[in-house]
Amino acid sequence: MNANKPKILVLGAGYAGMMTTKRLSQQLRPDEADITLVNKHNYHYLTTWLHEVAAGTATPNSSRVMISDVINTKRVQLHFDSVVKINKDEKRVLLENGELSYDYLVIALGFETATFGIPGIKEHALKIENINSSRHIRDHIEFQFARYSSGAEKSEDALTILVGGAGFTGIEFVGELAKRVPELCIEYNIEREKVRIINVEAAPAILPGFEDDLVEYAQKSLEERGIEFRIGAKIQECTEEGFIIGDDHEVIKAGTVVWTGGVQASPVVKDSGFELVKGKVNVDHDLRVPGHDHIFIIGDCSWVMDKENDRPYPANAQSAIQEAETCASNVKALLRNEELQDFAFDYKGTVASLGGSDAMGTILDDKKLYGIKAKAMKNIIDDRYLYLVGGPKLVLKKGKVKLT
């Protein structure tokens, strides 16, 4: 590290942090700045694949990419540690095992689960947050099957899998369960009819943001494969036994309870004195924090407003990757005293997997896809990110579109 060169510090190696670091290392000359990427682990995981790990339809390693395999370590210093707090006034970041200074800071620390104040969710529900938590869900489900099969557990409630939230993650998770549960039933010699997969959602429909015919297709597909839906049923409380739902306080008992209801910014952001609105920081259109010209916040930690519609852009992997492009460009512009650009989300469509070879969604000019065609497009979308971050080599190693 050169003490005379500006220091760029990127916190977090999720989609936003990885792509920002990648672009900075490509767009800046070595003499312009020193770049450091801080991350808790030495690997990057594909958050949008974690539901597969949790269901047991994919291995943990399939969703993991070693950071040093895709980031040029000759241009970027990798620092593996946990961020504790950001000192904005002194331009320093406190880590568990030291501290780092910066001239330009990119905060891309990802999310923690939002409970929306529902009692018991934090204490009793499992959550799809990272590779380890997803692997724990997979192991817990299989353990319930093993206990019942061995006779150690007599109640069929132990075989019930209860999923709170019918947004993107919740629906993709139950879709994978629809594929995995029949396999577990065969393996543990349990009748499929004894296993219940119940999805609970307070809203009047699943998959908010999708058009009615796409939602209808998704729900019908999942119901035909044994998924039960409780729509318009608010979760009043989560207990050790399951959910208490609705105005009549119905009790649904389950051996496995998973919450997928929503996300909010990493607690480090709030602990560092940034103002949060509905769990995230409102940033300016150029992705900087108001009042802090050298700090950018992107990904799941921030809201970026759509100027035309006066509402935030969607917070998903697609927008995080695009924010990273704008963020890297604007850091470069600050270094070179050039004009910064505003972020504009380029919607390329959204496809939700429904498990196995089924999916549905829209692409480009709202063209609707269903079934195998939609699943193929979903795989292409996933592989496009692998290409952006790691090139053809990573696509061949981790990609979902198989060449024959």
Report in angstroms the alpha-carbon separations of 256 from 84, 136, 159, 173, 292: 32, 11, 8, 13, 44
Which pLDDT score, from 0 to 100, does residue 136 have?
98
- b/e per residue, 261-295, with b = 16+ CB within 10 A? bbbbbbebbbebebeeeebbbbbbebbbbeeeebb
Burial grade of 312 (CB within 10 A; 0-12, 13-18, 19 or more): middle
> Distance from CA of residue 197 to its chain's centroid?
22
E strand residue ranges, 12-117: 34-39, 43-45, 64-66, 76-80, 83-87, 92-95, 98-101, 104-107, 111-113
Q: State the pairing for strand pair 305-306/311-312.
A: antiparallel
Which pLDDT score, from 0 to 100, does residue 310 have?
84
Catalytic residue among 99, 129, 172, 228: 172
Which residue bears the tokens 């981790």? 398
- b/e per residue, 100-135, with b = 16+ CB within 10 A? bebbbbbbbbbbbbbbeebebbeebbbbbbbbebbb
Cα 295 from Cα 104, distance rounded (Å): 6
Burial grade of 222 (CB within 10 A; 0-12, 13-18, 19 or more): buried
Cα 46 from Cα 316, distance rounded (Å): 12
Which pLDDT score, from 0 to 100, does residue 315 have?
85
Cα 62 from Cα 65, distance rounded (Å): 8
Which pLDDT score, from 0 to 100, does residue 2 have?
61
pLDDT by residue for the chain (404 residues), tens only, comes to: 566 899 999 999 999 999 999 999 999 999 999 999 999 999 999 999 999 999 999 999 999 999 999 999 999 999 999 999 999 999 999 999 999 999 999 999 999 999 999 999 999 999 999 999 999 999 999 999 999 999 999 899 999 999 999 999 999 999 999 999 999 999 999 999 999 999 999 999 999 989 999 999 999 999 999 999 999 999 999 999 999 999 999 999 999 999 999 899 999 999 999 999 999 999 999 999 999 999 999 999 999 999 888 889 988 999 999 999 999 999 999 999 999 999 999 988 899 999 999 999 999 878 999 999 999 999 999 999 999 999 999 999 999 886 54
Q: Are 333 and 157 in contact (CB under 8 A)?
A: no
Which residue bears the tokens 């429909």? 205
Torsion of Cα atoms, 71 then 77 then 82 then 88, to 10°: -110
Which pLDDT score, from 0 to 100, does residue 209 have?
87
Among 266, 165, 271, 161, CA closest to 208: 165
Which pLDDT score, from 0 to 100, does residue 402 have?
65
Beta carbons within 8 Å of 95's beta carbon, 6+ residues apart: 38, 79, 81, 82, 83, 84
What angle (nearest 5°) sits at the alpha carbon of residue 387, between those of residues 384 and 393? 140
Per residue, what are the HEC states of 51-62?
A: HHHHHCCCCHHH
**What pTM, to 2 d.p., does this model score?**
0.95
Which pLDDT score, from 0 to 100, does residue 79 have?
97
Q: State the pairing for strand pair 250-253/256-259.
A: unpaired
Q: Clarify whether 172 is annotated catalytic.
A: yes
SS3 call for 4: coil
| pLDDT tens-digit readout, 334-372 | 999 999 999 999 988 899 999 999 999 999 878 999 999
